[in-house]
Structure 1
């Protein structure tokens, strides 16, 4: 039976003894990243610390756009010179911090994460790849520091878990401890149906039409084992593209018979490309390792990367790379 390993006492001592902290998450933050940041920040505030939340963004999705004001976009010289401790959550490599990676160089850094791929960084690390979400790691930190989990914090912890587990769909056999942790959060006042509505409800008609276009645009290769779709900058002229349809898109394309890998390419300003990777539970393809080859990271079954090349170039390179893996 899996159980979380104990925290290094050096990590706990730093959190107890130091007074000022910066809590960072990865670029293009998702539910687990933001929920982990909010929960970790609340933990430190409950301990009487001074806390600064920072994230390079973008916060362009409608469900998170209102949070932009709560996060620093840069670490200024005055804050840096006070030598705060940096807590990085849900991030597998410094590149995934965007421009903030350079702005925290030289500061003592604690990394709390559950990604199996990526570059080892930070002065202190607590990385548990078997944890379904980073929020469940933050939950263990609350317990280790004997800090009470309020209903509001429990909701952050559950939301991150729910998004990264596909609302329980990605949990394998013999992982009862994950369900027991979820049950603890429900007993603290979390409503799973409210969390489900927050994840999937409230979408605009424009979102649904955009999702439909991306599905219509999808292509199949390698005897149906790879499916991919692309979002272009010009889509903004016709569709509402601020609500990312990627999770729904992945679910739809992975449901197609024989599909092992799904790629979603999004054209960005300045000639860069954001790529989302997913693989089916039956597939042997490790998309986390694949994403790492392109400067990103993630899990064996779900990962992401931002590549500083045009979308057509990135798409060809990745299609070729997936083809080699599928036929290897």
Structure 2
């Protein structure tokens, strides 16, 4: 991970100084890193005595983030033009307004600062700190917090650790260039973050239905390209029966990537009659973010996603065609 430069920190501080109030927004279907990044930014604004609201379209179905839902609104309050002109929009863990989802209110036209770590970040007409070498957006926000505020409290350290642990798979996805990540993590533990407690909160409390749905995903799974790619899907009927209380596709990815010869995993969920959500995971060599971008999505080299129009039976051949080019 490349550390944030003094110039970037100064640029972010100038953005904060030049606005009277703020909107902090994260991507729809938030995960722990998105939540941690947004709340971490709120800690900075609290210290600066700057008013703010946090927006997220949800849903907050992941068990480990449900408790944070009350901190976020899904509608922008009425603002006069003068209030809009003096308000800054900070987008965390994504770079496009479209990824924020169905938030009630017009977010266009705000002075915007983006903090993101996705390889496929698409930034236009905004200030930003975007670092694809960072394993989590919360790692970037932690650096900003430490530079502008100082040492976090135990509560704050827990939040930053939670975000980092989410996107690193509790360190499983880190490589030999991650020394600065571990140094930052050590500082959080020194401030009181409890790794074991956070791990238990992240992995425990799963609903029974998620285990049943995982069984269906395993039953649907098929291999392609001599076993290099595993594909599974979730129909709308599957969702109605078992997916209303959340799902555990991460467990499916982990199980399949442990199979001999498997290099990538594809998960397709039929969201509506005419749209699907795509999830991609891979081992070291296969860049699934490049494939996700073909379907309007993006992410990281080894973890990406997309939301696109179509049905499972028509999308799958198109996605397999893209995988055929790299596997």
TM range (shorter): over 0.9
Retained in 2: the 8 A contact 1:235–1:241?
no
Using the TM superposition, give the Cα deviation of residue 111 of structure 1 relative to its aligned residue in structure 2, in angstroms: 0.3
Post-superposition offset of 1:146 = 3.0
> Is the contact between residue 25 and residue 92 of structure 2 (CA under 8 Å) also seen in structure 1?
yes
- 1:66 deviates by 4.3
CA distance in 2, matches of 1:81, 1:49: 17
**Partner residue of 2:297?**
296
1:131 paired to 2:134? yes
Greater Cα offset, 175-184 or 303-312 = 303-312
Residue 249 of structure 1 deviates from its aligned partner by 0.8
User: Displacement, 1:12?
Assistant: 1.1
In structure 1, distance between residues paired with 2:104 and 2:23: 12
The CA deviation at 1:132 is 1.2
Residue of 178, 187, 190 corresponding to 2:193: 190
CA contact (8 A) 1:92 1:298 kept: no
Give the whole-Å Cα distance in 1 for the aligned partners of 2:293 and 2:102.
18
| Superposed structure 1 runs of 4+ greater than 4 Å apart | none
| SS of 1:268 mapped into structure 2 | strand
- Residues 283-328 of structure 1: CA deviation (Å, up to 9, x unaligned): 2x211122122111111110111112223222222122112222xx
TM-score, length-scaled by structure 2: 0.92
1:325, 1:80 → 2: CA distance? 50
Q: In 1, distance between residues paired with 2:122 and 2:299? A: 11
Q: Per-residue displacement from partner, 1:129-150 (whole Å, max 9, x unpaired)?
A: 1111100100111122134412
1:105 aligns with 2:91: no
- Aligned 8 A contact 2:32 2:64 in 1: no
Q: How far is 1:250 from its partner?
A: 0.6
Q: What does residue 271 of structure 2 align with?
A: 268
Give the Cα separation in 2 of the matches to 1:107 and 1:314: 36
Distance 2:196 2:110 in 1: 41
The one of 257, 261, 266 aligned to 1:254: 257
Indicate if the aligned counterparts of 2:221 and 2:230 stay in contact, CA closer than 8 A: yes
Unaligned runs of 5+ in 1: none
Aligned residues: 324
CA distance in 1, matches of 2:198, 2:186: 14
Alpha carbons 1:94, 1:121 under 8 Å: kept: no
For structure 2, the residue ranges without an aligned partner over 5 or more in a row are: none
- Match of residue 141 from structure 1: 144
Cα deviation 1:196-238 (Å, max 9, x = unaligned): 1111111132222221221121110010111011111111443
Bigger shift: residues 47-56 or 233-242: 233-242
SS of the residue 1:313 aligns to = helix
Please give the TM-score of this superposition, normalised by the length of structure 1.
Answer: 0.92
Match of 2:316, SS state, is helix
CA distance in structure 1 between the partners assigned to 2:326 and 2:310 by the alignment: 22
- Quote the offset at 1:41 in angstroms: 1.5
Distance 1:324 1:102 in 2: 41
Corresponding residue number in structure 1 for 2:50: 49
The alignment's C-alpha RMSD in Å is: 2.0
CA distance in 2, matches of 1:291, 1:118: 12
